[in-house]
Amino acid sequence: MPPRLRLFFLVFTAALFLIPAVSLVSELTRRSDIWWTPRTMIVPLGESKDRVEIYARGRLVDSLIQAGTLRIVRDGDTTVVRTSDIGLRFNNWDRVRGDRTPRLLIYAAMCGVLAVIFFMILTGRLAYRGEIDPAARQQR
């Protein structure tokens, strides 16, 4: 393979390698605490019944609040907890992790294939065969 053509393919392959490599690195170095429900979007206790139940000493917290037995003591002052006082934040990491695995595998496979092609070009394993003249092909 002519040196200029080899250099072109090396640079082209390296540039193509950077696309999945950058995506793979950014995905693996992403913060793990970003999957929680934001504090500004806390879900009230009444709206979260289809996703979570909270128990205190074996009793449902919602029933404790309705009975008025759940209290907060702050600076010697005791107040009854209301349903509106409780909010929940959910960690959605398990859902995101399941969606993320196939994408990471595709990025890793692309990096591997492009690395093999890069090293094949670099070591000259891809032989350059010049075009054969059609007349010369008929003589064979």
In order, the DSSP letters of 38-100 are PGGGPEEGGGGTTT---EETTEEHHHHHHHT--EEEETTEEEE--GGG-EE--B-HHHHHHHH
Q: What is the pTM of this model?
A: 0.52
Q: Where are the domains of the chain?
A: 1-35+91-127, 37-90
pLDDT at residue 86, rounded to an integer = 84
pLDDT at residue 137, rounded to an integer = 62
Choose among 28, 43, 132, 22: nearest CA to 87. Answer: 43
Separation between Cα atoms, residue 89 and residue 91, nearest integer Å: 7
Q: Which two three-digit tokens encode residue 99? A: 């969606």
Contact 83, 45 (CB under 8 A): yes
Q: Mean pLDDT for each 10-residue chunk of the chain (140 residues)? A: 82 92 88 78 81 84 85 85 83 77 90 91 74 63
pLDDT at residue 136, rounded to an integer = 60
Separation between Cα atoms, residue 36 and residue 113, nearest integer Å: 36
